[in-house]
Structure 1
Amino acid sequence: MTTPADTAPRIPEAVHRRRWAILGVLMLSLLIVVLDNSILNVAIKTISTPAPTGLGATQSELEWAINAYTLVFAGLLFTAGLLGDRLGRKKVLLGGLLVFGIGSALAASSGSPVELISYRAVMGLGAAFVMPATLAVLMNVFERDEQPKAIGLWAGGVGLAIAIGPITGGVLLDHFWWGSVFLVNVPIVIVALGLMIWLVPDSRDPKPGRIDPVGVVLSVVGLVLLVYGIIKGGQLADFTDPAVLATIGAGLAVLVGFVVHEKRSDHPSIDIGYFKNKVFSAAISALGLVFFALMGVTFFSVFYTQSVRGYSPLQTGLLMLPLAVAQLVFAPRARLVVNRFGNKATTTGGMLLIAAMLASFALLEADTPIWILEVIFFLMGTGMAHIMTPTSVVIMQALPREKAGSASALSNTFRQVGGALGIAVLGSVLSAAYRSGIEDKLPVAARDTAGESIEATLGFAAKLGPKGEALVGPANDAFLHAMHVTALCGAGVAVVGALVVYLFLPGRAPTRADKEETDLVAADH
């Protein structure tokens, strides 16, 4: 039953009047956080080339350039959400944007892969305070009945960033050095800071909890150990190596310790009790699983289009446009599908569509018509739009408005951790499968370095001159086989996600017409 407190507007009229302008500023802040990752996906091939064109980064270093950002981001989201609820979300947003801008400028000036990884971690620190605060502010400037529409537009902003990122990255790489893909963030940060100071109101939890430093440390250490072990296993093409098993085991043990600590703490970073709600748990798990599959696929699709098919970074960005356009078009409208068919049918359908499209990558060859890849990307974006919006609404509306920072931190943590593990696990599967397919074609002395990735093999072939041309065909064949195996693994993960949401998300809520019809039937009997 709805109480008067639930229906009474709690938002000042002045704020309520400019709520859509505020949403625009929040989406601009979100834009740079997502833009950075989508730009980097196009630039990874350039960064992997030797200096002065790139940094000569190995596949492992490329994965860490992505994961350093993601792990710091995910590891600090708990604290960022709590600080936003405690100190004020506007203050946290402004601070996060400033740190992100500084990290971007430093990343652009990196002189080695190690420096790039370090500065990407600084960017992740800033992003950790930006992402949860955007959703938390959104929940506090919109009343409950408008929140699904606002969240749909917020999710559509992710699609916009994914569209702009690769194209912007491609244009920059065609005209400037690789560092420009990071430097472009700086003017966007400056504009966002100015608009935020002017428009966005501050809000906070009137009864905030204390910060949990032990929980933060345990979560960061556990995730770093786990992902490092997985990456190392892929590098060695041997997940049974004692050092790999020890690192992964230590990471899992620390994460178990984190959960135990959170249960016992009187001021936890995350209230484990939230997960007793099956609907909440299913929605948040679906987000993690879909990003696990999608981030891993995005990582290898860049090498498919650039290394195997020979497209430039700009052309690769344009090829990914259908993925983003579909999200931009369908994310704001997904709530209408939910209203008609319910969360269960909408999200399950989205997960199955993602699974089918991931499996379709196993059909791609070096000469497959490129329009088929475009259709796959468009349908992947469509599926993602019908997962992100309904699950985000379920998660954000499951907790009280004053805990919006914590709810946003949880959803973004699962999204980022899922993406990090997707890159690590699927990247490792890709690396291991590629190495096994190319090793016997390489000289024994060069197998460790030249067999790590297709770029490493092609670089080695280029050094051999005309003799190296014989390696190009086997390298492409080995990569395509590895991509097929990796895509099927990603599809399997998406099927698991579909099963989770089908079992635990609610179906269509009864409408007023349904209730009236039920009442009439009951009256007749």
Structure 2
Amino acid sequence: MTTSAPPLDRRVPEAVHRRRWAILGVLMLSLLIVVLDNSILNVAIKTISTPAPTGLGATQGELEWAINAYTLVFAGLLFTAGLLGDRLGRKKVLLAGLAVFGAGSALAAESGSPVQLIAFRAVMGLGAAFVMPATLAVLMNVFERDEQPKAIGIWAGGVGLAIAIGPITGGVLLDHFWWGSVFLINVPIVVLAIGLMIWLVPDSRDPAPGRLDPVGVVLSVIGLVLLVYGIIKGGQLADFTDPQVLATTGAGLVVLVGFVLFEKRSDHPSIDVTYFQNKVFSAAISAIALVFFALMGVTFFSVFYTQSVRGYSPLQTGLLMLPLAVAQLIFAPRARLVVDRFGNRATCTAGLVVIAATLAAFATLEADTPIWILEVVFFLMGTGMAHIMTPTSVVIMQALPREKAGSASALSNTFRQVGGALGIAVLGSVLSTAYRNGIDDKLALVPAPLRHTAGESIEATLGVAAKLGPQGKALVTPAHDAFLHAMHVTALCGAGVAVIGAVIVALFLPGRPAAPQQSGDEAELVTADLGQD
């Protein structure tokens, strides 16, 4: 591949510069397993919720915790993981994270109960917390500034590739093997990634790293767990005014406020809150969080729509989600060209408007809606996401010095994961509450001891209906109707969140560069510089 003449102020060693694209490939492989795991799990949710020996008989609340145990540990430790990478060396931290992730995957595959699965998913989250920020931090240190937007675009396209591979791989595995194979598949990928990492990737660190912040880490993890637990519990009880729900949620908010105040006064914070005084930086971070809030919640219920209501297999469900990933794969690396022409503000606002429209489209889907409509919705959703993730990632990563790449990456990924966790918790609880309200009066045929369980989710209702035999068939249509109504309500809530994100980026992200565009690279630099004002 030909490159332009090296800039006079090049900071990347020539030996590293020559193999930068190979290094990017290794980083994307490491990223692949982290994203692949969640997208595989989305397809396996229904299987895991079925009774043993096919699955684990997990309830909807347990399924949400199986997802969020990973996400919460991941999000809670990203701050510290980024700082450790800056201090100890990003390559070392990346290798350690991959090893822990691989071990957690092997243990999760052999889980004998939902509780064990939740615990081992938390171990996987621990490893992933050290993988994700290190990949972007290394990327920022092997590419010169003029090539960083292109590299980040390709990196973001890798996310789309992982999303494409995940559901299809999960579907193939579930068609031929037991549910644990969706976790075991991570192990050979981890082994390959570690080998290539040792061979190709250079180490880098911050020459003036900050001290660790154990108090901040503990406060952030406790606050997030309490907040999300309260939200999930409210959905299970279909009552967000329950004293236990209010107490847990309130305690989580208080702890998180305490975390922010502690970080503000600390001389060695996990997160430097002064970063958020920059409105552009804050808007970019908020956009990422809100996008993942909406999308993770929608992904959670779309699997039940395709499998429980429409009757598709896990493999077919994976193939149905392919347009979402293909759109990201196509547009993420090219989003920088749209930014060059229209600016960050117009690009990201349009992307969020598209996402809001596609989420609202889910409110029109019925049991007999032509499936090609769902495919178009997924493709447009992926297109919108691609035009948000790449520009905002560039703004965030270039807003801080190269030496702080680990911290910038950790912040970006933390808000992404926290947004996703809250999306699953909040929208999952909305789905659960709306479903229970719609099915409760139809459960008169169900024995009294089973009624509460039968109302938790569509899978729980259908499972109880199957046990009741011919008498239970009368529950199938009401279950489908109640789920569709709940999905419509949840989708509109997600669309509202995306609209809020569109307003934020329209107000605070930089617009089209004022200077004449002489080249694509110059436009990227102008856009990034605006993000540092």
TM range (shorter): over 0.9
Could you tell me how far 1:445 is from its partner in structure 2?
3.8
Number of paired residues? 510
Normalising by the residue count of structure 1, what TM-score does the alignment of the two structures yield? 0.96
Could you tell me how far 1:511 is from its partner in structure 2?
3.8
Partner residue of 1:520? none
Q: 1:222-371 maps to which residues of 2 (within 5 A)?
A: 222-371=223-372
For residues 417 and 8 of structure 2, what CA distance do their matches in structure 1 show?
34
Deviations 1:307-357 (A, max 9, x none): 000000000000000000000000000000000000000000000000000
Q: SS of the counterpart of 1:507?
A: coil
For residues 517 and 164 of structure 2, what CA distance do their matches in structure 1 show?
40
Could you tell me how far 1:7 is from its partner in structure 2?
5.7
Partner residue of 2:4? none
Specify the code of the residue in structure 2 equivalent to 1:295.
Answer: M
For residues 305 and 512 of structure 1, what CA distance do their matches in structure 2 show?
49
Specify the code of the residue in structure 2 equivalent to 1:355.
Answer: A
Deviations 1:371-418 (A, max 9, x none): 000000000000000000000000000000000000000000000000
Deviations 1:163-191 (A, max 9, x none): 00000000000000000000000000000
Specify the code of the residue in structure 2 equivalent to 1:430.
Answer: L
Normalising by the residue count of structure 2, what TM-score does the alignment of the two structures yield? 0.95
For residues 35 and 237 of structure 1, what CA distance do their matches in structure 2 show?
32
Could you tell me how far 1:242 is from its partner in structure 2?
0.7
Could you tell me how far 1:461 is from its partner in structure 2?
0.4
For residues 100 and 290 of structure 2, what CA distance do their matches in structure 1 show?
29
- Determine if the alignment matches structure 1 residue 448 to structure 2 residue 449: no
Partner residue of 2:430? 429
Partner residue of 1:159? 160
The one of 499, 505, 520 aligned to 2:503: 499
Deviations 1:435-468 (A, max 9, x none): 0000001034432100000000000000010111
Could you tell me how far 1:419 is from its partner in structure 2?
0.2
Could you tell me how far 1:423 is from its partner in structure 2?
0.2
Partner residue of 2:34? 33
Partner residue of 1:483? 487
Q: Unpaired runs of 5+ in structure 2?
A: 1-6, 524-533
For residues 517 and 296 of structure 2, what CA distance do their matches in structure 1 show?
42
Deviations 1:445-500 (A, max 9, x none): 43210000000000000001011111000000000000000000000000000000
Specify the code of the residue in structure 2 equivalent to 1:118.
Answer: A
Q: Unpaired runs of 5+ in structure 1?
A: 1-5, 516-525
Q: 1:392-411 maps to which residues of 2 (within 5 A)?
A: 392-411=393-412
Could you tell me how far 1:512 is from its partner in structure 2?
2.8
Q: SS of the counterpart of 1:260?
A: helix
What is the root-mean-square deviation of aligned Cα atoms in Å?
A: 1.0
Specify the code of the residue in structure 2 equivalent to 1:285.
Answer: S
For residues 392 and 180 of structure 1, what CA distance do their matches in structure 2 show?
33
For residues 510 and 184 of structure 1, what CA distance do their matches in structure 2 show?
49
Partner residue of 1:216? 217
Could you tell me how far 1:513 is from its partner in structure 2?
5.5
For residues 264 and 53 of structure 2, what CA distance do their matches in structure 1 show?
51
Q: 1:8-47 maps to which residues of 2 (within 5 A)?
A: 8-47=9-48
State percent identity of aligned pairs: 87
Partner residue of 1:467? 471
For residues 455 and 260 of structure 2, what CA distance do their matches in structure 1 show?
39
Q: SS of the counterpart of 1:363?
A: coil
Could you tell me how far 1:79 is from its partner in structure 2?
0.3
Q: SS of the counterpart of 2:363?
A: helix
Q: SS of the counterpart of 2:468?
A: helix
